[in-house]
Structure 1
């Protein structure tokens, strides 16, 4: 396995750079295709979320693959390598597997423990699978990452380990604006994150909740679930003047709240609610709220970078440590299985060669001794097969045991030399993940 991962995230890059590097789903698929055209790349998958852009690839050489991935990332984001290089992280082989499993569990998320990344990873795998970008290495690896992430949420308390971005925004709102029970809250957007924000605000018993969205049906659905009211996005300017807390996450390209609109709202608020501050919690990337809004009098803005700093200061406790131990164990199990699978084709080819020799010799015996009793012939054939089986048993078991301890590859190579096994014959004996296993994980089901 020559797995290479390269990317940038909220841990390594400032928000403005992440914003410029953000990729739409179509752009992420295009990037995967560009990567796959690299001279040293055989498989690829791109994971693009609001806080990260990562490329995973099976490569023939490390340095060649790194060049291919870096060039593709620059072309797709439109950023020069000089702008990216100080913020990129690179993981190879074992470290790449550890990073992927940690991402799937939410350990590397801005809101530690969030589960949304699992759905994003599943969608990335679906896109790559449908495009034929993944194969013998990345398919089972990504499937295993999904299993590890689901196991982390099912078996540990990671869901409660780190406060969510929404929770961090609400805590900041209480500090800046006051108790939630007295606030008028405006949620902009009706996607999964906005719906989560509305639900969380509702659970905390805010004064009132209004949902604004470009599609009225979506806004109405979210508002109905939290006992609030909904407005169409063209009415946003008027609603901003009423809102003490604005939570926005639309996924739009360009600012949903520009500085002129926010200034007009602030001026209206000065007349309606003098000396009452206003907070914008911007969960979008690219940002929904123009950063210049923070310079308006009485207006505060908490974007992903600010909220990430709030979250990183939180005590994460035993739940996170438990997931880290789970990841360590899963990585070791996965790498052991990869090593065992690597020697399996040699074992299969060895047994096939032995079977060919036995069949040939029994056929020769049958031609020489034609008058042999059928019962004796059957007993003779069984005896020969048992002898061969016993001779092959020890090296077969031993090479698999050695593979699990990191050094099985050299012993497999020795077997190929000793028994003159054809390398092409060995390479042909390899397992590809079944369509049913792939389909089950892409739709959120477990392994079959």
Structure 2
């Protein structure tokens, strides 16, 4: 039977350096999905790559072979020997894989529990897989149920009442460093979702001045205008840093945007006035050596963990409720998933019995041409009832699926005993 497998690493298993090496840029996602889909052991695949995790979700006929192929794929795609990152990887199969994606979508596995951003990132990953034709009926069902689970968690618990994103934690960190944000100037590098969220939290926190710079100047102007800020041309970023007390950077640039030497020059122009850099990009936008410069203080995603831990404590009871919702939905999905194997067998068995019933009934009717229409209908009803009663107990037992191993045994036994086809050509429909 086809199996769901997940291979990945996240903020719990790998450093930011390790995560950066395996991160997929949006521009290369189509190529990555296509390469993964060409692996003989995989039938479907989707890639989720964020600042805190890189995960590949796949459907494979052989889980062990699929995992081996995916490890090799990650190594080849990133031109990185497996020995450099294998220790950071985790592998999940079947029910545990289902539970994992439901927890991820519900932000129960996030650095900041309750943050809403991960759901949007999963939806984007799913859209890319759909557009690249690498997702099929199982991943389609899995992801839509994951979206449903996330919605249930958000509406049936209070986990999102004071939920915070990485961007808002960054702003909270800035407040803890400088106290009040009033009279403070902040430079945002990037104009994407994370910087937009940061801008919203900065305005809510009373930030004095917001500067925005972006490679596409029009995007910087648009974001700055929305928050009554000021756009700074990308090639004048240094001037922006000269004016700012805090720099928050969140772009998808493949290399450092801010170098050690660049900040040394800025610090001279600032007359060594302290500046705080908060790098929430993946890969990182700011050279780690910037943190070695006097009066320049650098924080990255890993430094947000202390703030995140405080949020986890505040949400413990709601997390327990959320975990119960996840477990309920895992059971429902596994039930549907097993039906991919069981339903065709049930239909094939009924079809075989029905063919035998009709054939024998036709023989009986041909031997007794004087049967009235009423008598024929009575025989039809009688033989149908006999078939239903014969099949009732074994099919009920098959549907119970107390243990997956026994369920497979029953399915295989029925197919062998009654010479049923391996696949009945049955389309498994969505259950809402």
1:108 corresponds in structure 2 to 109
Q: CA deviation at 1:214?
A: 2.2
Question: CA contact under 8 A between 1:185 and 1:244: conserved in structure 2?
Answer: yes
Asked if 1:304 corresponds to 2:305, the answer is: no
2:70 corresponds in structure 1 to 69
- How far apart, in 2, do the equivalents of 1:111 and 1:378 lie? 67
Residue 284 of structure 2 is aligned with which of 258, 268, 287? 287
Q: CA deviation at 1:81?
A: 0.6
* 3-state DSSP of counterpart to 1:134: coil
- How far apart, in 2, do the equivalents of 1:296 and 1:171 lie? 23
The CA deviation string for residues 395-431 of structure 1, in whole angstroms up to 9 with x for no partner, is 222321235776333223333344x13233xx13433
1:339 corresponds in structure 2 to 338
Question: CA contact under 8 A between 1:112 and 1:161: conserved in structure 2?
Answer: no
- How far apart, in 2, do the equivalents of 1:8 and 1:354 lie? 50
2:152 corresponds in structure 1 to 151
Question: CA contact under 8 A between 1:165 and 1:308: conserved in structure 2?
Answer: no
1:97 corresponds in structure 2 to 98
Change beyond 3 A, Cα 1:258–1:36: same
2:424 corresponds in structure 1 to 428
Q: CA deviation at 1:285?
A: 0.8
- How far apart, in 1, do the equivalents of 2:27 and 2:175 lie? 39
Bigger Cα displacement from structure 2, 174-183 vs 294-303? 174-183
Question: CA contact under 8 A between 1:349 and 1:421: conserved in structure 2?
Answer: no
Question: What is the root-mean-square deviation of aligned Cα atoms in Å?
Answer: 2.3
Q: TM-score, normalised by structure 1?
A: 0.89
Change beyond 3 A, Cα 1:402–1:324: closer
Asked if 1:132 corresponds to 2:128, the answer is: no
- How far apart, in 1, do the equivalents of 2:182 and 2:127 lie? 42
Q: CA deviation at 1:197?
A: 0.4
1:268 corresponds in structure 2 to 269
Change beyond 3 A, Cα 1:298–1:178: farther
Q: CA deviation at 1:162?
A: 5.4
1:29-428 equivalences in 2 (<5 Å):
29-160=30-161, 163-270=164-271, 276-314=273-311, 315=313, 316-402=315-401, 407-418=406-417, 420-424=418-422, 427-428=423-424
- How far apart, in 1, do the equivalents of 2:39 and 2:276 lie? 46
Question: CA contact under 8 A between 1:210 and 1:223: conserved in structure 2?
Answer: yes
* 3-state DSSP of counterpart to 1:56: strand
Q: CA deviation at 1:201?
A: 0.3
- How far apart, in 2, do the equivalents of 1:2 and 1:307 lie? 36
Question: CA contact under 8 A between 2:167 and 2:195: conserved in structure 1?
Answer: no
Question: CA contact under 8 A between 1:27 and 1:76: conserved in structure 2?
Answer: no
Question: CA contact under 8 A between 1:103 and 1:109: conserved in structure 2?
Answer: yes
1:442 corresponds in structure 2 to none
- How far apart, in 2, do the equivalents of 1:85 and 1:409 lie? 33
1:439 corresponds in structure 2 to none
Q: CA deviation at 1:301?
A: 1.0
* 3-state DSSP of counterpart to 1:159: coil
Count of aligned positions? 429
Unaligned runs of 5+ in 2: none
- How far apart, in 2, do the equivalents of 1:289 and 1:148 lie? 36
Change beyond 3 A, Cα 1:292–1:160: farther
- How far apart, in 2, do the equivalents of 1:366 and 1:429 lie? 32
The CA deviation string for residues 12-68 of structure 1, in whole angstroms up to 9 with x for no partner, is 111112122221124333333323333322222211122221112222333322211
Q: CA deviation at 1:242?
A: 0.9
- How far apart, in 2, do the equivalents of 1:3 and 1:227 lie? 48
Q: TM-score, normalised by structure 2?
A: 0.92
The CA deviation string for residues 329-379 of structure 1, in whole angstroms up to 9 with x for no partner, is 221222233234432111111111111112112222232222322222222
- How far apart, in 2, do the equivalents of 1:379 and 1:433 lie? 34
Change beyond 3 A, Cα 1:91–1:416: same
- How far apart, in 1, do the equivalents of 2:22 and 2:407 lie? 42
Bigger Cα displacement from structure 2, 224-233 vs 332-341? 332-341
Question: CA contact under 8 A between 2:37 and 2:134: conserved in structure 1?
Answer: yes
Asked if 1:19 corresponds to 2:20, the answer is: yes
Question: CA contact under 8 A between 1:104 and 1:146: conserved in structure 2?
Answer: yes
Bigger Cα displacement from structure 2, 311-320 vs 89-98? 311-320
- How far apart, in 1, do the equivalents of 2:136 and 2:106 lie? 23
The CA deviation string for residues 183-237 of structure 1, in whole angstroms up to 9 with x for no partner, is 1111121111110000110011111112222223322222222222222212211
- How far apart, in 1, do the equivalents of 2:199 and 2:270 lie? 23
- How far apart, in 2, do the equivalents of 1:149 and 1:76 lie? 31
The CA deviation string for residues 297-332 of structure 1, in whole angstroms up to 9 with x for no partner, is 111111112113442354242222222222222212
* 3-state DSSP of counterpart to 2:45: strand
- How far apart, in 2, do the equivalents of 1:289 and 1:160 lie? 32
- How far apart, in 2, do the equivalents of 1:65 and 1:109 lie? 26
- How far apart, in 2, do the equivalents of 1:102 and 1:191 lie? 25
